[in-house]
Chains A and B, each alone.
Chain A
Amino acid sequence: MTAAVESVRTLSLREVGPAERGTRPEEVVIALSPAFGDPFTKTIVDVPHAEVIRQLLAGIEEQGGVARTIKVYRTADLAAIAHYGAKLSGSGIAVGILARGTTVLHQRDLARLSNLELFPQAPLLDAEVFRMIGSNAAQYAQGRSPRPVPTRNDQMARPRWQAKAALLHLKEFECIDHARSAVEVEPVISRVD
């Protein structure tokens, strides 16, 4: 084929050890839900998980931040995942993300159901938004005042995506493993040309 083919990237999560509390004051924790990366590979609108992670990490790196990634198995509740991540984060800032793409920016001193920035409409989140979320997370971790990521809204997301979201939610619940503690993972992104 002569046309430019976008390179495809894959994500694997290499387990590093148990998820522990970080010490670097500027670090951001990315907390992944039970089905993120494995068994699911893309969000509700087919953004590859590899790209989600790559853009989150890029946003953090561009701001001079550092990130650790953890995977949570005991709950598929986004607020709980993100708040757990925030408690392990050296800066107190975490990005929580579900397999279907729903994302939240959390801080450890906040109530679990509160948040810094919430992106509830997973169908509207693309690579560009994930980059901005990463960038803002790093800036919060450094004590700066980022402009909140502009939120998008689409009233017709309900008829198109509500049921698929419910289905993905159920599938994610299936992946909950109450016996398994959260682990720190190293996201390995490789290119398949």
Chain B
Amino acid sequence: MSGPVRVVVGVDVGNSTTEACLAEVAGDRVDRLASSLTPTTGVKGTPANTAGAVTAVRRALEAAGRPSAVPDTVLLNEATPVISGLAMETISETIITESTMIGHNPDTPGGEGIGVGTTVALAELGGQDGPVVVVVGAGADFDDVAERVNRAVAAGVEVAAAVLHGDDAVLVVNRLTRRIPVVDEVSAVDRVPLGMLAAVEVAPPGRTIRTLSDSYGLASTFDLDAEQTRQVSPVARALAGNRSAVVVRTPAGDVTDRRIPVGTLTVSGSGRSLDVGVDEGAEAIMEAIRRVAPLTDVHGEPGTHVGGMLAAVRDTMTDVTGQPSSEIRIRDVLAVDTLVPTTVQGGLAGEVARENAVALAAMVRTSRSRMQSVADEIAASLGCEVLIGGVEGEVAVRGALTTPGTAVPIAIVDMGGGSTDAALLDRDGQVSAVHVAGAGELVTKLVDSELGLEDRDAAESVKRHPLAKVESFFHVRHEDGTVQFFDAPLPPHVFARVVTVTPEGLVPVPVRTSLEAVRAVRREAKRRVFVVNTLRALAQVAPQGSLRLLGSVVLLGGSALDFEIPAMVADALAPHGVVCGIGNVHGTEGPRNAVAAGLVDVHAGLAEPVAQGVGR
């Protein structure tokens, strides 16, 4: 049977996008006409959402060819504010004292082997008795340097090695009568102590140094006793993996690797609180959180980055809900270990060490939704009835269940920008939902810092698109090894570069590392955030915390459209016997529009309203 035809629009205000589904409803017959997508205005669940919601409705009407129609009913989801924050703390640093060591990797050192001697400035070269290491300052011309060294050698000076300011090592060595190891591009060469015993080592192309990167090698070179050898072992460690290096023996020279205290995190739950030092690393932090589970709140030490980030998250929630800051609880934290390329303190050539860092994502949520004021404003703006229906998670699960091939029990995972959300509909019709901290933004941050990009746009592009290497003007090799040929030459700015393959074409990634290295960083960042969080979130909604009891897992939202995340998540879930796939709402909408379409279905009575369970 069918009643009068009514125009109904379901609107889903999400963290980053607002979706609308326009349908004609006659009795229980639902005829979906159009859907639309627009950025959410303001924080989800606050009055600022009105503008985006109205835009979404209008877009859907335009898409259906009815720009001036007024809907009979607009259905809104019961959205609650979720606010997330990100912070990163570097927790280790390398310090060189007394300019003991030059451990950078110039592209083109000169000569090969190891040379040991007393450091002497180029201008003072001549008349020395023992072997010398020549130190050449800025502005010297390679022809002049080579000539002076040759002259000194002819006059009987034993020149064992050289250290240069400019990028001249190969040029100088090619002009010498006797080849010596030369390290160049030492920007602070004027700080190399003179009159000290020094060793310069250069390995053949494609190899790394063997002597200066080994404690006993250093001991033999500088004639050290056991105690002295123990002291210099950090120098050896710091030089491992380099193709060239300089070590100067000074009275108190040292290389230290120290932990930076960056404050503590106080995690509370199950009636107790634990303090954990952020510099203890991600594993210690996550272990502390597990021990107090379920987490009720987290505080950071004031004056630290992490403390500041947690306070900012609280303040934002206070601003949008009007709840006092003291009532707002941090409900989840995700900590991830990462490595950040950092310039070494006291380095002479801009040496870079990969220092340890901890990235933290935090999430706060409130039950105090202000959707009623959004509903009132939409009603005033569009001149129609607005109903708030369905609690978060519930409607999405209903929408996901329209994906062909799914069955109850069914879980959904929606990976967004700031948080990863999961919900489960069990056989009893109970829905439970959870939000955990850490999603797309954290991945971007990890990619950015680990590749040393310092360019959020570039990191975002690496996250979103597959990689390729431009091997000639007419072909690229994609990251899966396939080769693609082009009829017209590629643009010159991508020549010989690692690029992302975007819909707008190839975009160079500003790194000098290999495609494989970039890909490894990208995939590892996604794994540590999305895979870890999917498992964490599902474990919280799964019956008895057992993933095996989940049945179907449907991936929804923008990240479900990512080119590799669904497969990574599915692989991680496979061992638990879970069927995992990308949502296809009503068999046509893909992973989008689950809530908006679900709202319309529930309204039309197509779907049984489900009983509301209690989260976690």
Contacts and interface: CB of A to CB of B under 8 A. Distances in A.
Interface of A: 58, 61-64, 107, 109-111, 114-117, 131, 135, 140, 143-145, 147-148, 191
B495 A116 contact: yes
Of B473, B492, B498, the most chain A CB neighbours within 10 A belong to B492
Interface stretch (B70-78, B112-120, B162-170, B386-394): B162-170
Interface in B146-179: 167-171, 174
B142 interface: yes
Interface of B: 107-108, 142-143, 167-171, 174, 471-474, 489, 492-493, 495-498, 512
Contact of A107 (B174, B493, B495): B495
Query: Which of B167, B169, B472, B474 has the most C-beta atoms of chain A within 10 angstroms of its own C-beta?
Result: B167
A37 B170 CA distance: 27
Given A64-B170, A110-B489, A143 B496 contact: yes
Contacts of A117: 492
B108 A62 contact: yes
B169 A140 contact: no
A180 to B, nearest CB: 31
B332 to A, nearest CB: 41
B440 to A, nearest CB: 28
B470 to A, nearest CB: 9
A115 B174 CA distance: 31
Given A61-B174, A116-B492, 16 more contacts: A62-B108, A62-B167, A62-B169, A62-B171, A63-B108, A64-B108, A64-B170, A107-B492, A107-B495, A109-B474, A110-B489, A110-B492, A116-B495, A145-B497, A148-B493, A191-B143
Contacts of A107: 473, 492, 495
Nearest to A6: B141
A144 B496 contact: yes
A144 B469 CA distance: 11
Contact of B473 (A109, A131, A135, A191): A109
A110 B496 CA distance: 13
Contacts of B498: 145
A63 B171 CA distance: 9
Nearest to A59: B167
Contact of B168 (A62, A140, A148): A62
Given A144-B496, A145-B497, A58 B142 contact: yes
A83 B492 CA distance: 14
Contacts of B512: 145, 147
A107 B471 CA distance: 13
Contacts of A111: 489
Nearest to B512: A145
A61 B493 CA distance: 24
Contacts of A115: 492
A140 B471 CA distance: 11
A109 B142 CA distance: 35
Contacts of B471: 143
Nearest to B184: A62
A121 B406 CA distance: 65
B107 A63 contact: yes
B181 to A, nearest CB: 16
B256 to A, nearest CB: 32
A58 B495 CA distance: 23
A110 B473 contact: yes
Contact of B489 (A58, A109, A147, A148): A109
Most buried by A among B472, B474, B496: B496
B487 to A, nearest CB: 12
Nearest to B511: A145
Contacts of B142: 58
A105 to B, nearest CB: 9
A144 B471 CA distance: 10
A55 B450 CA distance: 36
Nearest to A118: B492
A169 B492 CA distance: 26
Most buried by B among A61, A62, A114, A191: A62
A109 B171 CA distance: 31
A159 B538 CA distance: 69
Contacts of A116: 492, 495
A137 to B, nearest CB: 12
B384 to A, nearest CB: 57
Contacts of B495: 107, 116, 140
A15 B170 CA distance: 27
